[in-house]
Amino acid sequence: MMRSDRSTRLADIGDRMAFATTVDLLAAGDHACMTFTDQQERLDLVAAFVRDGLRRKERVVCYTDAVTPAQLAEELAHRSVRAKAAAARGQLRLLAVEDALLGDDGADGMVNVLSTEAKTAERDGYPGIRVTADMCWATRPTAAEELTAFETAAAELFTAGKLCVICQYDRAVFDAVTLAFATATHQKTVAALAYHDSATLRICRQYSPAGIRVAGHLDYRQQDVLEQALGESRRLDRHMHVNLSALEYIDAACTASIVQAAIRLPPSRRMTLTCQPLTERMLALAGAGEVPSLRVTRAHDHA
């Protein structure tokens, strides 16, 4: 390829804007970029993507690097995805990135992999195929160009309208310039919907299982935002999951907001909450033990 052609293409890409969406809105034909710093959020979004694909009877393929395929199966199972059953019947394939590429690395390698998977899914009778991959294979000095080449070549695969892809970019691994290219070369970007995002606190929507996730330190100053997030989960989710496993501190005011949200649920609905010991103690003081619809479990560390 002529150097000037590649340079021109890179310059064009800077002007493009990707459309931000949420994981639950992705459908066949979408090619989305997900950037993340938090492994738990990445796993949540991947779980939701997998779950939606399985429900639609599509084939789902995950290329994983940070965790092994076996660990990924465990993580998915923890997030309400029937991964083992789906894998047993061949609908779900979990593969290590390096195994999939088998030395045929770089942009062409990944395009060939995608193309082969799409053809195989069709041959096996699936109406569509979803693929998600950790893009760590592109971490080299020429990563920006490799990704550009990949995304451009892969675009052709989407024209049949049966392929849906999320490319995952770990912010700890890619530099800011490469991430900017990644975002610009995709049709859409996917991230968890964040109600509050600061250095000390993150409140965001959790997709699998559905509810909210709060990490960091939470006090009365964000009580309104917390209640907004709880309210949205109450509207959208039959059973609310409140993931406080990465919440280090919560005050009495916010603890009360959570307990009150559970009290207000109608008898047929539940709130399942996962938390650390300090939060468990605060919930007990706030009367969580007397709320039948609220189930509190202590968080355990996953890999």
Partner 1 sequence: MTTPDHTAAADPRAQPDSAPAAPDAAGLAVDIPFTEPDLFRLRAEVAAHTSAVGDDDLVHRVLIVASELATNVVRHGGGAGRLRLWTADHAVVVEVSDRGDGIVHENPGMERPDPMSRGGRGIWFCRQLAEEFTINTGPAGTTATARFRLPR
87 binds partner 1 (CB under 8 A): no
Q: Site for partner 1 (CB under 8 A): which residue of 20, 88, 177, 285?
A: 285
Minimum Å distance from CB 297 to partner 1?
18
Does 259 contact partner 1 by CB under 8 A? yes
**Binding status of residue 180 toward partner 1 by CB under 8 A:** no
Binding test (CB under 8 A) with partner 1, winner from 217, 239, 270, 295: 217
- The reply on whether position 20 binds partner 1 by CB under 8 A is no
Q: Exactly one of 14, 277, 300, 301 binds partner 1 (CB under 8 A); which one?
A: 277
Minimum Å gap between C-beta 190 and partner 1 is 31
**Shortest distance, CB of residue 43 to partner 1, whole angstroms?**
27
Instruction: Assess 177 for contact with partner 1 (CB under 8 A).
Output: no
- State which of residues 94, 275, 282, 296 lies at the interface with partner 1 (CB under 8 A): 282
Residue 234 found at the interface with partner 1 (CB under 8 A): no
CB of 278 to partner 1, least distance (A): 5
The single residue listed with the structure tokens 């950790």 is: 134
Q: Considering only 43-51, 76-84, 112-120, 257-265, which stretch makes contact with partner 1 by CB under 8 A?
A: 257-265
Give the distance from CA 184 to its chain's centroid.
Answer: 19
* Residue 92 burial (CB count, 10 A): 24
The minimum distance between CB 213 and partner 1, in angstroms, equals: 20
Residue ranges that bind partner 1, judged by CB under 8 A: 200, 217, 219-221, 249, 251-253, 256, 259-260, 263, 277-278, 281-282, 285-287, 290-291
